[in-house]
Structure 1
Amino acid sequence: MSPEPLMTRGYDAHPAIEHERLRSKYGSVAPVDLLGVPVWFVLGYEEVLHVLQNSGGIWTKNPARWQAYVEGRIPADWPLLPVFQVDSSNFAEGAAQHRFRSAWTKALQPFQDHTHPQAKVLEQAIKRYADDLIGLLAEGGPTGAADLSAQYARPLPLMVANRMLGFSTARGDEVVMDIWRLIDAGPESAAAFERLYAAMMELAAQKREQPGDDLPSYMIQAQPDLTQDELARELLMLPALLDFCAGLVCNVVVEVVSNPAVRESLSVGAIDETVNRVAMLNPPMANLTFRFPVKDVKMGNYTIAAGDAVMLSVAAAHADPRFAGALDPHAIRSTRAHLAWGAGPHACLGQRLATQMATVSVHRLFSRCTKVKLALPSDQLPWRPSPLVRALRSLPIQYELDERRVPGAASAEAPAAQQSAEDVAAKQAQQRSPLWKFLRSLRFGR
């Protein structure tokens, strides 16, 4: 049969409608054309979970098992090709995957374990970054309009990435902007990958010679035999996680301002619950990178041949009546059985960090604004045309700041006298930062 195109204007605008159309026509698995490449698109919750868990060892993420790729049938200019050419633990299996994930687990622990001093320092830094960005809005007065995606949700994780990776601010700006280009799968994605790889190689060499309290140094300490190339490829994955967080923040804000009941729940401290609910209802990582069966396998109404590309749709799986129909929409606490963070051997190791960033970002915004209102109807918001990510291209809002709680040069939790020399230097560097100049130009229209 001829697969039908997935990336249509209708899919970009209303993917849920397309999911249900495909589910009605094909069942839990649909044959689609992804930007010119035939792919099996899995829409069923049970099927997606089964592949993720990979209990029988049938599924692999290794592109070397992708028959069309091995045979040279994937065009060299296919926009998603650079994603699959990153030889990292994201696509590793078996002992190699265990080696990398062990390094990640140990390296992330200082940032995710709330009893660790580094986690406490990072939490204060996230709050300070949020306050800095809100303070930038305040430079134009207590009321105004902003693109909350470009001026808040996306730059905040960039600042976190700079801190965790140990980049200088300006260098980190360039790196994460290229990550966005790669994730967006546009015409600049191949060149962006080349620049990213070079930057991470440079960083890996620097941290081996001069280790610090940062993620690359912790990874080297956890796994000293990591080569410079291996470390560089692993580090390429962190900003992608943080960009996922930016999408989650925007999706949470839209849900809060569009739903009075959700807005009320924030006032009683249920922000983490709101973040979890939005991760389920509108996951930023809507579709996952491919899996490939190592042998022919029956799924849905089809037999998928060994080496065929299979894309798992988390967003469609969450809307599967077999899953969604069993949920209580009035429950105080939403289920944690959703797949927004993956499952099985490739489940996200940074879930706690990303959830913390989203929670802090949303709390900081709404505690410092007396009003946040969408500047467009929610069904007219512009979404990024990406095969993998469901994130807003922009989030235009009108806001009113609580002048009693607008942060100044330093956050209320971290007065200047209590900030580390590193943080003071970072704040001074903001004035010279290309990112900060760009954000200020957005604020004042220059």
Structure 2
Amino acid sequence: MTGYQTSTPADPIPAADRVRLYGPEFQKDPAALYARIRRQYGGVVPVLLDGDIPAWLLTGYREIHQVCQDSQLFARDTRRWNQWGNVPDDWPLLPYVMHNPSVMFTEAAEHRRRAGAIGDALSAVDQFDLGAHCERIADRLIDEFAGTGEADLIAQFAQQAPLLALAKMYGMPDSEAPALVRDVALSLDVGPEALPAYGRVQEAMARLVAVKHQQPGADVPTSMMQDPANLTDDEVVQDLLVVTAAAQQPTANWIGNTIRLMLTDSRFAMTLSGGRGSVGQALNEVLWHDTPTQNFIGRFATRDTVLSGVRVRQGDLVVLGLAAGNADPHARPDAASGALGNHAHMSFGHGEHGCPYPAPEVAEVIARTTVEVLLDRLPDLELAVPAENLVWRPSVWMRGLESLPVVFTPVHVAGPGVW
């Protein structure tokens, strides 16, 4: 790895004084752990990543806001990291930090150029048309299990809907979507399949760009290729990969976590005549309490500085603790009363490297529409197991269920629908 750092400085904090940001404690009850370490350390926590690589975890809302706002002091280019000398070739978090020429790791004017092209392309998406297409997607997915009276709403519904919607936005053939769903999910996971899967997704995006040169259309890739930012084909491919990853797993988890909430919380489980809370309210509450992206790698200090009374060295990695920040009692003193109407969460990031407008709106159209169609089609939907038996995926980074088994009254489906 070449870049800004020429040596790996010794860690001034003993490993025993750092919190391990991995293991069963984070998987069992991360919210309680975030609260405990915030009380112990404050908003900036010394942590160890997999392999005992040192970093800082931000658990305070104010600290996350400050770091995201100051892109000059806390930059995105991972080549600034001062720990590359300690990172093995098979490090499980390598997909999160391995530098590539995408918008994710650009800075300053170059980042604004690239992010602006993405924003322009997403702004051109007709959200009413997208919503109608998401209704058809949801109907088709539901048709495949409606007659059985049971389903796993993660594998059979939430994991598939976002990327099928994205395939429409990309002008891709539906036949390519299943493989893309599989590979994007694998590429975002921590495991040996992540890098090979990422390579396959990259190849799929390269093929798509080549096709769009010959057959341009009213779609996101064509818009990016024709944008005044004058992106190269490689830049379009890399940035489509970013959009794909951001649209798939976080939105799938958002859908799954929202369905779980509405099936387990009495405010949402009541009948409509009894005043059930809306899907929109549930979606927003999930962003506060079970945000799809718990922690995000990250930012890198461009010089020695002090953050909330803690000395941070040049090149130190700062992990954005989005879930912890959303639960910070200093930001939400009324947390016990719920999050209805409060959209000041950090779930989409903040500042120059936050989720570019209108990406959150597009994601909400996909999530809201698919959940609403599900509840309309299967109004007596209920969990097939006790709520306490639901298992969260063992990830410090993403917040989503392994499965969401449900039962309902079987519904006769006349025949195959159309996308």
TM-score over 0.5 for the pair:
yes
Q: Which moved more, 1:33-42 or 1:263-272?
A: 263-272
Change (3 A) 1:11 1:268: closer
- Structure 1 counterpart of 2:342: 335
Match of 2:89 in 1: 76
Tell me if the contact between 1:107 and 1:219 (Cα under 8 Å) persists in the aligned partners: yes
Q: Which runs of 5+ in 2 are unaligned?
A: 1-13
Amino acid at match of 1:342: G
Matched residue, 1:255: 261
Deviations 1:58-92 (A, max 9, x none): 110111211212xx321111122123333211221
Do residues 236 (structure 1) and 241 (structure 2) align?
yes
**1:215 deviation in Å?**
1.0
For residues 228 and 105 of structure 2, the distance between their equivalents in structure 1, rounded to whole angstroms, comes to 19
Structure 2 residue 286 is matched with structure 1 residue 278: yes
Report the Cα distance in structure 2 between the residues aligned to 1:287 and 1:176, rounded to whole angstroms: 22
**1:125-164 alignment runs, 5 A limit:** 125-140=133-148, 144-164=149-169
In structure 2, which of residues 38, 46, 50 is the aligned counterpart of residue 23 of structure 1? 38
Measure how far apart 1:166 and its partner are.
Answer: 2.4
Residues 184 and 385 of structure 1 are in contact (CA less than 8 Å); yes or no, is this contact kept in structure 2? Answer: no
TM-score under structure 1 normalisation? Answer: 0.84
Q: Confirm or deny: 8 A CA contact 2:77 2:107 kept in the other structure.
A: yes
Q: How big is the shift at 1:319? A: 1.3
Displacement after TM superposition at 1:154 (Å): 0.8
Q: TM-score, normalised by structure 2?
A: 0.89
Q: CA deviation at 1:409?
A: 3.8
Output the CA distance in 2 between the equivalents of 1:376 and 1:75.
41
1:175 alignment counterpart: 180
Q: Match of 2:104, SS?
A: coil
1:334 Cα offset (Å): 2.8
Q: Quickly say closer, same or farther: Cα 1:363–1:283, change in 2 above 3 A.
A: same
2:307 maps to what in 1? 299
Pairwise CA distance, 1:251:
0.8
Offset, 1:345? 0.7
Q: Which residue of 2 aligns with 1:287?
A: 295
Is the CA contact (8 Å cut-off) linking 1:26 and 1:301 kept in structure 2? Answer: no
- Any conservation in 1 of the 2:46–2:57 contact (CA below 8 Å)? yes
Please state how far the C-alpha of 1:13 moved relative to its aligned partner.
2.1
Say yes or no: does 1:49 pair with 2:68.
Answer: no
Paired letter, 1:194: G
| Contact kept in structure 1, 2:127 and 2:365, CA below 8 Å | no
AA matched with 1:52:
C
Q: Does structure 2 conserve the Cα–Cα contact (< 8 Å) formed by 1:184 and 1:384? A: no
Which stretch has the larger CA shift, 285-294 or 80-89?
Answer: 80-89
Shift of 1:330: 5.8
Pick closer, same or farther for the CA change 1:65–1:280 going to 2, 3 Å: same
User: Which residue of the partner structure matches residue 345 of structure 1?
Assistant: 352
Report the residue type matching 2:353 in the other structure: H
How far is the alpha carbon of 1:226 from its aligned partner?
1.3
Distance apart, 1:208 and its partner CA: 2.1
Quote the residue 1:89 is aligned against.
Answer: 103
2:362 paired with 1:369: no
Candidates 48, 54, 57, aligned match of 1:38: 54
What secondary structure sits across from 1:33 in the alignment? strand
Does residue 308 of structure 1 match 2:323? no
Q: What is the CA distance between 1:155 and its match in structure 2? A: 0.8
Matched residue, 1:443: none
Q: Which amino acid aligns with 1:76?
A: D
Name the CA distance, whole Å, in 2 between partners of 1:365 and 1:22.
39
DSSP 3-state at the match of 1:370: coil
Native 8 Å contact 1:256 1:263 kept in 2: yes
User: Separation in 2 of the partners of 1:21 and 1:376?
Assistant: 30
Deviations 1:75-128 (A, max 9, x none): 1111221233332112211111111111111100122xxxxxx43322211000
The aligned counterpart of 2:10 is none
Q: Which amino acid aligns with 2:264?
A: S
Matching of residues 149-228 of structure 1 within 5 Å: 149-223=154-228, 225-228=230-233
Tell me, in whole angstroms, the C-alpha distance in 2 between the residues paired with 1:261 and 1:18.
Answer: 27
Shift of 1:381: 1.5
1:387 aligns with 2:417: no
In structure 2, C-alpha distance between the alignment counterparts of 1:222 and 1:328, rounded to whole Å: 46
Q: SS of the counterpart of 1:167?
A: coil
How far is 1:193 from its partner? 1.7
The Cα shift of 1:299 comes to 2.2
Alpha-carbon separation, structure 1, partners of 2:214 and 2:228 = 15
CA RMSD of aligned residues (A): 2.1
> Unaligned stretches of 5+ in structure 1?
112-117, 411-423, 428-446
Identify if the C-alpha distance between structure 1 residues 224 and 41 changes in structure 2 by more than 3 Å, giving closer, same or farther.
Answer: closer
In structure 1, how many angstroms separate the alpha carbons of the residues matched to 2:414 and 2:134? 14
CA distance in 1, matches of 2:378, 2:203: 41
SS where residue 218 of structure 2 aligns? coil
Q: In the TM superposition, what whole-angstrom CA distance separates every residue of 1:411-430 from its partner, at most 9, and x where no partner exists? A: xxxxxxxxxxxxx5xx5xxx
Correspondence for 1:62 among 68, 77, 89: 77
Question: Counterpart of 1:366 in structure 2: which amino acid?
Answer: L
2:19 match: 4
Aligned sequence identity (%): 33
* CA 125–330 in structure 1, closer or farther in 2 if over 3 Å, else same: closer
> Is this contact kept in 1: 2:268–2:276, CA < 8 A?
no
Determine the C-alpha separation between the residues in 2 that align with 1:219 and 1:407: 40
- The structure 2 residue matched to 1:104, chosen from 93, 104, 118, is 118
CA distance in 1, matches of 2:164, 2:121: 19
Contact 1:297/1:305 (CA < 8 Å) preserved in 2? yes
Q: Distance in 1 between matches of 2:396 and 2:237?
A: 25
How far apart are the structure 2 equivalents of 1:31 and 1:377? Answer: 37
